[in-house]
């Protein structure tokens, strides 16, 4: 998770535009655009004046973006030393414990590469939805985590279709589909761009692997950055990753 993701998420939820945020934060629209596309690093965590303005405009708790920026900076430092600590250790321990054993190893390999990455956020959001716990993924309290633990028996992720199947304590089974249909070249380009932009997903890919990923054609889905990452792992070890 990073500052850009949190801002994009809140803009989408509130139905706001980048120019609205730029005006509220007293910065240029170009600056916001570069920040959200990772072309410009986020302000230092101690730049509280800009983060405070953004927090208020995005209706986030006071100091939220500065906290995320601090976590992002810490993650980057740890990444250089080959270690990345989870942003929410207890929540991660819970979702990994609930993952079906057959899927646990490839899921753990993806999740542990980031402090709170795309797949981890997706799983937490889906489990909360299945358990009917109305809370943002960034603000799960210990009490809500305990409710989630009691409500969910297990979950399974299909890296091919991106479907999540959740088994609840009351024996109900819910399946959530996230593969977007009726794809387009623009949608494919967006997913590929996001994949290439995130070092934790594409940083280890060779030129040959990237060329093969760029040549993929999709007739019935809009591939996300995480989809390309899964395809990269499948290229390297299809039997292990699909198993």
Q: For the chain, how are helix, strand and coil distributed in percent, rounded to 5?
A: 60, 5, 35
pLDDT in tens, the chain (243 residues): 688 888 988 898 889 999 999 999 999 999 998 888 888 888 888 777 889 999 999 998 888 888 888 887 777 766 665 556 788 899 999 999 999 998 888 888 888 877 787 788 889 989 999 999 998 888 899 999 999 999 999 999 887 777 899 999 988 999 887 644 444 455 557 778 877 877 666 767 777 778 777 777 665 566 777 777 777 766 665 444 444
Phi-psi region of 38 (alpha: psi -120 to 50; beta: other; left: phi over 0): left
What pLDDT is attached to residue 239?
44
Q: How many other β-carbons are positioned within 10 Å of the β-carbon of residue 89?
A: 10
What pLDDT is attached to residue 219?
55
What pLDDT is attached to residue 221?
60
What pLDDT is attached to residue 147?
95
Residue 239: what are its φ and ψ, rounded to 5°?
-65, -40
Greatest Cα pair distance in the chain = 52
What is the pTM for the complete model shown? Answer: 0.52
What pLDDT is attached to residue 143?
95
What pLDDT is attached to residue 58?
92
What pLDDT is attached to residue 243?
40
């Amino acid at each position: 998770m990073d500052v850009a993701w949190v801002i994009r998420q809140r803009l989408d939820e509130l139905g706001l535009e980048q120019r609205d945020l730029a005006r509220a934060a007293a910065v240029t629209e170009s600056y916001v655009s570069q920040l959200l596309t990772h072309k410009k690093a986020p302000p230092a965590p101690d730049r509280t004046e800009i983060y405070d303005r953004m927090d208020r405009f995005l209706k986030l708790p006071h100091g939220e973006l500065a906290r995320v920026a601090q976590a992002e900076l810490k993650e980057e430092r740890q990444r250089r030393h080959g270690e990345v600590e989870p942003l929410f250790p207890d929540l991660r321990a819970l979702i990994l414990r609930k993952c079906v054993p057959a899927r646990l190893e490839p899921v753990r390999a993806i999740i542990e590469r980031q402090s709170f990455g795309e797949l981890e956020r997706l799983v937490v959001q889906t489990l909360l939805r299945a358990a009917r716990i109305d809370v943002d993924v960034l603000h799960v309290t210990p009490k809500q985590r305990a409710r989630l633990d009691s409500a969910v028996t297990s979950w399974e992720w299909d890296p091919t279709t991106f479907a999540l199947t959740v088994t609840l304590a009351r024996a109900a089974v819910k399946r959530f589909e996230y593969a977007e249909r009726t794809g387009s070249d623009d949608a494919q380009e967006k997913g590929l761009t996001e994949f290439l932009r995130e070092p934790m997903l594409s940083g280890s890919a060779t030129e040959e692997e990237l060329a093969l990923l760029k040549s993929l054609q999709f007739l019935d889905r809009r591939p996300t950055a995480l989809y390309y990452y899964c395809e990269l792992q499948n290229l390297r070890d299809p039997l292990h990753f699909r198993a």
